[in-house]
Structure 1
Amino acid sequence: MSHPSTGVEIRELASPGELHELTRVFDDVWHPDPGRRPVSADMLRALSHAGNYVAGAFVGDRLAGGSVGFYAAPAGTTLHSHITGASRIGRGHNVGHALKLHQRDWARSRGLRSITWTFDPLVARNAYFTIAELGAVPVAYYRDFYGELSDELAGADERDRLLVTWPVDAPEPEPTTETVDDVLATGARLIIELDDDRPRVVTDIPVGDTLLIPVPRDIEAMRRSRPVAASHWRLAVRDALTPVFATNGTMLTHRTRFLRSGHYVVEPIDR
């Protein structure tokens, strides 16, 4: 699968050499401890051999990104995308978007109905890409999903994750210019406030309100320069989002959007 406009070619990977190269790409993205890579070459080989999704994105003849997924429950319906990343070589080529479209086509061609994955709800660019650009639907919030890991991007922060599902036949979302002021004008409530530069969740939120939940513009930079402040944001966003997804995806009670300004908009479905 090629994307001439971006110069990106996506293809499945299977040979040991390619899979070792893919682990190096992931190292370039996450900078993990050498003994705690996100996924090892031997695991990639096993996943690929068993018919799961292991793909690489090439810019010219250089591997610039990749994505790994595996079949998930319910059997025969779902692909779980475990990891997707683009190295510095892939910047400016929309590698992440190209990989997701290839992954969707792969899943659809095998009769699957949806793709799931998790992402850090504090990373604004990932939230915007996942929710606003792809149209994936948040369905569950997990506290410290992975437990203790060691990579440069997350630092010492806990690994909370937002689980999304992306129907393979979902229409492409319409671009929106919606702003924070537009949302507030509808009666939405901003539920995280800054108190002496420390975020806190307001407590007087009537049931049924549309909620506006900000996240930092660059939490990864904050984790490097102000790790205590980053931890406060983790706790505040956790407190704001956990009640929304209390059913863990068994019964969705809210629709979730994400604004370019870095705000979740969470609206009750019955409105």
Structure 2
Amino acid sequence: MTGRGAAVNVSTIRELHDMEDFEAVSLLYAEIWGSEPGSSPISAEVLRALSQAGNYVAGAYEDDRLVGASVAFFGEPIGATLHSHITGAVMGRGVGLALKTHQRQWALARRLTRITWTYDPLIRRNAYFNLVKLGARPQEYLTSFYGAMDDAINGGDESDRILTAWDLTAPAPPEVIELPPGTEHAILDHNGRPETVATDADTVLIDLPDDIEALRRTDPGAARAWRLAVRHTLGALLTEGADVIGFHERRRYVVQRPTPHP
């Protein structure tokens, strides 16, 4: 076992099958998301059904205490894809990475080659984790995907999400990305607010706010401005077929426009 503050070892993660464990996961999620009592992001009953049907429900433990959990179900294309619906963990102990590593091994053991999930494109730590630590790549921009949400993390903002795919057979990408010559900003952080820049560059940068979750509480207007700027810019680029090829300096997307055909 690892001590507090240290990374959790993959051996502390196990699949869950008992109602007592599912209830603990539901309560942990409610705590992480700051949900109202009885309004956890997922109920113990749904976890029971998913597990019974052969899907992925796993918990991470530190000294026998639940510190993270992940839930996934089979997706399209069937036989190749696992869709990771929700992963929650205490921060700063490497729990999230350990869960994703376990999830990857579980998928590969079932001959799956792809894991998909959604995340809020404005949360920098999640973008860095998904794109750099795991090597997943954004596929589609989904506007107000879950509708209105009133938990402590999402409250007061629209639930835009990025659908992301992790190719389990691909080599890990480099952690530091070299920007191609001629790279320009499409969204620039200007004193804490987004500044949209008109550019025809083949490769563009999209800055993110320092802490969108804090900004939602302290300056809802600025948070709204970031939501709309990233939605319109990144969303349009992905719709056009652009590729997010990396995450630069832990604060900005690197997006490459599609090569025009003659």
Q: How does 1:205-220 map to 2 (within 5 A)?
A: 205-206=199-200, 209-220=202-213
Q: How far 1:269 moved relative to its partner?
A: 4.9
Q: How far 1:225 moved relative to its partner?
A: 1.2
Distance 1:194 1:253, change over 3 A: closer
Q: How far 1:253 moved relative to its partner?
A: 3.6
Please give the TM-score of this superposition, normalised by the length of structure 1.
0.88
- Supply the distance in 1 between the matched residues of 2:102 and 2:165 (Cα, whole angstroms): 16
Q: How does 1:247-262 map to 2 (within 5 A)?
A: 252-262=241-251
- Supply the distance in 2 between the matched residues of 1:3 and 1:171 (Cα, whole angstroms): 29
**Counterpart code for 1:256:** I
- Supply the distance in 2 between the matched residues of 1:174 and 1:138 (Cα, whole angstroms): 17
Q: Is the 8 A contact 1:124 1:262 kept in 2?
A: yes
Q: 2:24 maps to which residue?
A: 21
* Equivalent of 2:66 in 53, 59, 63: 63
Q: How does 1:90-129 map to 2 (within 5 A)?
A: 91-129=91-129
Q: How far 1:79 moved relative to its partner?
A: 0.5
- Supply the distance in 1 between the matched residues of 2:89 and 2:250 (Cα, whole angstroms): 23
Gaps of 5+ in 2: none
Within the alignment, does 1:201 sit opposite 2:196 as a pair? Answer: yes
* Equivalent of 1:80 in 78, 83, 90: 83
Q: 1:154 maps to which residue?
A: 154
Q: Is the 8 A contact 1:128 1:260 kept in 2?
A: no
Q: Tell me the alpha carbon deviations over residues 79-129 of structure 1, each in whole angstroms, 9 at most, x when there is no partner.
A: 000000113xxx432000000000000001011110000000000000000
Distance 1:48 1:266, change over 3 A: same
Q: 1:245 maps to which residue?
A: 238
- Supply the distance in 2 between the matched residues of 1:241 and 1:47 (Cα, whole angstroms): 33
Q: Is the 8 A contact 2:188 2:206 kept in 1?
A: no
* Secondary structure at the counterpart of residue 140 of structure 2: strand
- Supply the distance in 1 between the matched residues of 2:84 and 2:165 (Cα, whole angstroms): 10
Gaps of 5+ in 1: none
Within the alignment, does 1:41 sit opposite 2:44 as a pair? Answer: yes
* Equivalent of 1:188 in 183, 198, 216: 183
- Supply the distance in 1 between the matched residues of 2:125 and 2:246 (Cα, whole angstroms): 13
Aligned residues: 256
* Secondary structure at the counterpart of residue 44 of structure 1: helix
- Supply the distance in 2 between the matched residues of 1:6 and 1:238 (Cα, whole angstroms): 34
